[in-house]
Amino acid sequence: MPSVLELAARRRTVREFSGEGVSLGDVLKALDAARHAPSGANSQPWRFLIVTDPEVKARIRRAAEEGERRFYSRVSGGLREWLLSMGFGPEKPFLEEAPVLVLVFSKSGAPYSIQSTWLAVGYILLALEEAGLGTVTYTPSDPAAVAAAAGAPDDLILQVVLPVGRPAGEGRQRPRLGLDEVCRLNDWETPCAARGSGWPVGRG
Ligand SMILES: Cc1cc2nc3c(=O)[nH]c(=O)nc-3n(C[C@H](O)[C@H](O)[C@H](O)COP(=O)(O)O)c2cc1C
């Protein structure tokens, strides 16, 4: 069984899906993992909507792409450059091509609702990876419009849409900063790895 580190290192964003179906059981298992995530005051503010109905998926895609077209008409600067370099545009075919969409909502007014919900999303990503499933953390430019297309109640805020399916190809591994670039030990000069990984911490 792969370790958490192995799953985290192996996972990559998937935007193209094979035509294969997925087991709803695997998706539910990932959401089961998510409900064990920590949350502010244990408020468990995450709510999930699984969508498999092609008509609902098409409605969600239409709402999402309308928002993206508005976004792309006004985006500028470094973000625009990055989006273009990645070949991104307002079309989001994965919203219909993926066999399953998982819409992740946070309950408005719950303590640390957004932070807690995104922690749960991290759990989902690793659990999907364990099941050999791919996804993209698609954050719509107009989340309220997508939530409305999904018929969501007013007290739920759409955080992310996770199209889930079998990856069509290998996907591309994105570069990561090294541990020494993102972690310091006790002060801001000492890289964490300077002591090696075997050093004892804490008492005794
Ligand atoms: C908060 C967040 C929002 C993201 N929004 C989008 C998005 O709207 N569309 C998209 O295609 N990818 C989105 N991504 C995926 C990132 O582009 C991707 O994780 C990043 O480029 C690193 O690639 P990797 O996941 O393959 O390692 C998002 C990721 C995160 C964590």
Report which residue type is found at 143: P
Quick one: pLDDT at residue 170? 78
Residue ID of nearest Cα to ligand 1 atom 30: 137
Looking at the CA of residue 15, tell me the nearest atom of ligand 1: 11
Q: Could you tell me the two tokens for 61?
A: 């895609």
The CA 167 to ligand 1 mean position distance, Å, reads: 16
Q: Phi and psi (nearest 5°) for 78?
A: -60, -35
pLDDT in tens, 51-94: 999 999 999 999 999 999 999 999 999 999 999 898 899 999 99
Residue 168 predicted with pLDDT over 70? yes
DSSP code string of 91-106: --THHHHSSEEEEEEE
Q: Could you tell me the two tokens for 87?
A: 């070949």
| Residues counted in the chain | 204
List the domain boundaries for the chain. Answer: 4-171
pLDDT in tens, 136-164: 999 999 999 999 999 999 999 999 999 99
Domain 4-171: CATH superfamily, name plus number: NADH Oxidase (3.40.109.10)
pLDDT band, residue 204 (cuts 50/70/90):
very low
- Return the axis-axis angle of helices 113-130 and 24-34, rounded to nearest 10°: 140
CA-to-CA distance for 40 and 115, rounded, in angstroms?
A: 8
